[in-house]
Amino acid sequence: MKLPVAHGMAAIAALALPLAAATPALAQMQAPDRAGSVQIRGFVTGVLPDAAIIDVETDIVGLPAGTQTEANDNVVPTVGIEYFVTSAISLETICCLTQHDVDGTTGLPGAELVSDAKLVPATLTAKYHFDLGGAKPYVGAGPAYFIFIDEKPGAATLPLGVTDFHLSDELGFALQAGVDLPVNDAGLMVSLDAKRYFIDTTASWYAGDTLAIRTEHTLDPWVVSAGMGLRF
């Protein structure tokens, strides 16, 4: 499910046209002035990270040549809160907590290297909304700050003497595209949303007070969501 950025964003944005055609009754609704309104959306969200190693900074253990990793996908509930500055421009923040393990692929196939890393992807995007009468597609972009909580060394690292593990909190960037489909004229809607994050993190494994391994990882997750929303 890890699609090229341009193709993925174009595909989500393009959903607006067939969905609008499929809902001719909704297309007749008069578009209200949304300036000053608040929109809350609840989603079921798939978080699809990468977590590939892009650099090995420290290695006193002797990792096998070509060692590579991947993080598992996760499905979580998320909430988006959005304020409309004008009818077309809004600011949105999301709230969620997602948990991931990181396992070896090449070099250490199947080895659990990171256990239960909890991630808060604090995100703020500025969005531009297009009004097609029925479907209301949008695009957005903005900063993201990844906060890791309670991450632990994986089971495969414990026999090597690893006692502690840390993932660095990092600032990155997010692109966003999606569509809102009005259900009625009281503000209820169906929503589809996709975000692509561009962000790295540094992973550090310690044996006592000694830094044993430090690697740089690209995360760059896709975050894809479907749910319902309400505008106030």
Number of neighbouring beta carbons within 10 Å of residue 146: 21
What pLDDT, on a 0 to 100 scale, did the predictor assign at position 51?
Answer: 86
What pLDDT, on a 0 to 100 scale, did the predictor assign at position 23?
Answer: 43
Residue 114: which of 78, 76, 139, 148 has the closest Cα? 148
Profile the chain (232 residues) by mean pLDDT over runs of 10 residues.
Answer: 46 46 43 83 95 94 92 96 96 94 94 95 96 91 96 93 96 97 91 97 96 95 96 90
**Residue 189 and residue 39: Cα distance in Å, rounded?**
10
What pLDDT, on a 0 to 100 scale, did the predictor assign at position 164?
Answer: 96
What is the CATH T-level fold of the domain 5-231, as seen in this structure? Porin (2.40.160)
Please list, in sequence order, all residues whose beta carbon lies within 8 angstroms of the beta carbon of residue 158, skipping any fewer than 6 positions away.
none
